[in-house]
Each structure stands twice: as structure tokens, then as C-alpha cells.
Amino acid sequence: MTDYLDEITGQNTAKRFIRAALNKGNLYNFLFVGPRGVGKRTFGFTLAKTLGCPPSSTNFMLIGPIPSRIKDKEEKIYEYTCQYLPENALVELEDRSAILIEQIRHVIQRLMHMPEKGAKRVVLILEADWMTDEAANCFLKTLEEPPLDTFFVLTSSRPDYLLPTIRSRCRTVPFSYLREEQVKTVVFDGNDDYLLGSPGEMLVLRDRQLTENVYPLFKKCPLDPETAVSTTFEYERKKVIDLFYPLLLLYRLAFYRKIGQGNTIQINDAIAQKSELPLQTIVDALVLLNKSINALDRNPNRLLLLFNVLVKLP
């Protein structure tokens, strides 16, 4: 068996954990837990390749969240899932995406056929916490008694959203933020200007220019009610997260400046001005944005939520 794990940048704790399991022949279901964009997906594909199940293999199966608009179209589900393949550096989840019971049932049906003698099968489930309740309960039955020589690898950046019974039947493997020099190895150019430690998030911000798009709004905050209303309706058909998350990063830079950290970061005039606010005011802004981002998963009235944030940000 060829060990391909050195292809992964960083994540030495996860490498030691997995290699120990491989050396002992003590493989079990794994749950990769850690922030988004730090390499859990890539690690899952690399582990599968190490076990002789690359994405091109019939013994490899992939599941990821799909948007609601294609949930009843089996051929579209497969097509959309291809965006998660390892050659795609950038992967973003769409609003109202989920892992459906139909996807779990399809994998279970495939697992009914015995693998070739001596062969292993790997089922990689990305962002497993996005399973619907029906999908999670259906999957649990298979996870409790996996078919012969079949291993499940789950990834999650929100493990608390997974059923406790699913978490308890997996070995948790921790993933962490990367150091700046490791981020450069993955991203190739540019600095970690937001001290994210997440190459995936950096690529999203850079390729979609999210921060640049939000920066004029950041400078104007707090908005008067009339401007807040017009901005709210402007984002009616957009992803609200694409507004909240860059704002969170910008206020976080102001926080770093306030406490004298992040001296290597380039600070512009607006961030310097926000850093003059009282420390508690900046902290309140960070808490408000964090809570609002978490609330998006509970399908609130997004226009009302957005308006409320825009008039409260300092």
C-alpha cells in the first residue's frame, strides 16, 4: 500500500492519527472535524487513494450537499457532485443545500454488491452535517454495520449538527488552521491578509472579490434606515453570507489593530478608523455578525435579519 499522505500540506496531527490506524490495520469509520477550507476534503481523497480507491475507482463513492433545485433529478445530482472532486480547488456550498435520503439510498444500493476479493471500498461524505434528518437516520443503520471491507470517511466543519449516534460511531480526526507559510504553499501567491489559516476561504475571497465588493458598505456603517432598506433589497436575491462574512473579517481586522495584534497585516484607512471605536463596540459587532451567520442555517426572514444587522453595525 502506497502512502500518499505527504501530498497534504500541514495537518500533521491528522496524518499521525491516520498512519497509526493504517499501520495497525485498525481502520474504522473516520470523522474529519475542523474549520472549512483547511484540507479535510483533500485529505479524504488522498486517504481513499492510499487505500487503493481513487475517485476513478468503482470502489469509491462520493456524497456532498446538493441544492434543492436539482433534488429530483438523479443525473443532475451526479453532475453537481463532480464539483467536489479533488481537481476543483474551490468548492462553495449554495444556500438551501442538503444531503438527501435519495443519495444515501443510492450508496446503500451500490454497497449491496460484494467488493472484489481483497479490495476495499471507501465512501466519502463531505459536509456530513448537511444531511437531512431522514438521510441521517437512514445512513445510521449502514454506519452501525458497515458492509465487508467498506470504510466511511465523513467531513464536517459543524460536528455539533451531526446526530450524536453518528459521531459516536466514528473516530474523530482533528484538523486545524494552517500556518502562513503553509497557506502560501496551497494558494501559491498572496499573503494571509486576514489571518484565516484557511486556504479554501482565501481562494473564495480572492476569486470572487467578496471583500472588495463589501468594503464600501463597511466604510458607511452604521447605515441610516433608508440606506439599510435599499441595501437589504439589493441582497434579496443574493447570498447574504457573501455580505456578512467579509464584514466579519473587516471588523476582525479592526479588532486586531485595536489590541495590537496582526502587525504584518496591511491596514487601510477605514479599518484604522473602525479600530478607534471602543473595544467593546468592536466585540459587539463581531458577536452580532457571528450570530447572524449562524442564524442563516435556521432559515430566518433574511431581509429582516439583514436590515437589523446593517442598522446596528458601528
Shared domain check, 160 and 219: no
How does pLDDT run along the chain (314 residues), one tens digit per residue? 788 898 888 899 999 999 999 988 878 899 999 988 888 999 999 999 999 998 888 889 999 998 877 766 677 888 888 888 887 777 776 667 889 999 999 999 888 876 666 678 999 999 999 999 999 999 998 998 888 888 999 999 989 999 999 999 999 999 998 887 777 777 656 666 666 677 777 777 676 777 888 888 898 888 999 999 988 888 777 778 888 888 988 898 888 888 887 655 566 788 888 989 999 999 999 999 988 888 876 666 888 888 999 999 99
Shared domain check, 294 and 238: yes
Around Cβ 116, how many Cβ atoms within 10 Å?
10
Q: What is the dihedral of CA 264, 268, 270, 273, to 10 degrees?
A: 60
Residue 192 forms part of a structural domain: no
Domain holding 297, by residue range, is 209-312
Which grid cell sits at 119? 479490495
Q: Of 158, 176, 194, which residue sits at a domain end?
A: 176
Shared domain check, 35 and 152: yes
Around Cβ 93, how many Cβ atoms within 10 Å?
17
Residue 196 forms part of a structural domain: no
Shared domain check, 306 and 254: yes
Q: Of 123, 153, 176, which residue sits at a domain end?
A: 176
Shared domain check, 154 and 11: yes
Tell me the pairing of strands 30-33 and 150-156: parallel
Shared domain check, 152 and 14: yes
- Amino acid type, 188: F
Tell me the pairing of strands 97-98 and 66-67: antiparallel
Listing DSSP states for 16-80 in one string gives: HHHHHHHHHT----EEEES-TTSSHHHHHHHHHHHTT--TTSTTEEEE--EEGGGTT-HHHHHHH
Residue 183 forms part of a structural domain: no
> How many independent structural domains does the chain possess?
2
Shared domain check, 156 and 243: no
Residue 194 forms part of a structural domain: no
> Is the separation of the CB atoms in 186 and 272 below 8 Å?
no
Shared domain check, 215 and 166: no
Shared domain check, 240 and 160: no
Shared domain check, 233 and 107: no
